[in-house]
């Protein structure tokens, strides 16, 4: 099973300190507001 981009992004975000996750996710989601919203709901 290959993890999806969202699953990989989620795992990477969780590896970051909580205070750095928003900036990390903003950069990694690259303007994809729907993806950013889903990640914010799951990874914080």
Q: What pLDDT score was predicted for residue 3? A: 72
Alpha helices in 1-44 (DSSP H): 5-15, 21-29, 33-43
- pTM for the full predicted model: 0.77
Q: What pLDDT score was predicted for residue 25? A: 92
Q: What pLDDT score was predicted for residue 2? A: 61
Buried b (16+ CB within 10 A) or exposed e, 1-39: eeeeeeeebbeebeeeeeeebbebbeebbeeeeebbebb
Tokens at 13, concatenated:
């975000």
Q: Could you read off the pLDDT of 3-26 as tens digits, one per residue? A: 788 899 999 999 999 999 999 999
pLDDT above 90 (res 38) = no
């Amino acid at each position: 099973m290959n993890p999806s981009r969202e699953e990989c992004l989620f795992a990477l975000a969780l590896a970051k300190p909580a205070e750095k996750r928003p900036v990390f996710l903003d950069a990694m989601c690259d303007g994809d507001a729907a993806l950013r919203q889903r990640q914010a709901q799951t990874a914080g």
